Amino acid sequence: MEARAISKFNRISASKVRLVANEIRGYSLPEAIDVLKAMPKKGAKLILKALYSVGANAKYMNPDVLENSLYIKKICIDEGPTLKRFRPRARGRASRIRKRTSNILIVLSDEN
């Protein structure tokens, strides 16, 4: 059985979230939650929120499943749309500010 959750349009760049996602790839659900709670990064908080959601989705799909038997089968961090803003610079020019977003996909499975 597989359960999945997607968190879209998170206001953080995908490269920053990937650093956190690489730390928990392949872990069991309780282990990953413990690791993320100890991490002082914004990306850890966003992934933790998505991880709780996918855990609840798994419990809803199969109420008999044990949390200890679930592990992270796939965690994928993609780039979302970029907000483009401009900042005034010297001599009448402008420079672009890119406010990047990211999408988080997590798939849990209980099969080996």
Q: pLDDT tens across 6-40, in order?
A: 999 999 999 999 999 999 999 999 999 999 999 99
The whole-number pLDDT of residue 1 equals: 87
Q: Is the pLDDT of residue 112 over 70?
A: no
- Distance between first and last Cα of the chain: 11
What residues have CB less than 8 Å from 17, skipping those under 6 apart? Answer: 10, 43, 46, 47, 77, 102, 104
pTM (two decimals): 0.91
CATH T-level fold of 2-109: Ribosomal Protein L22; Chain A (3.90.470)
Q: pLDDT tens across 95-104, in order?
A: 999 999 999 9
Q: What is the mean pLDDT of residues 58-85?
A: 94
The whole-number pLDDT of residue 97 equals: 97
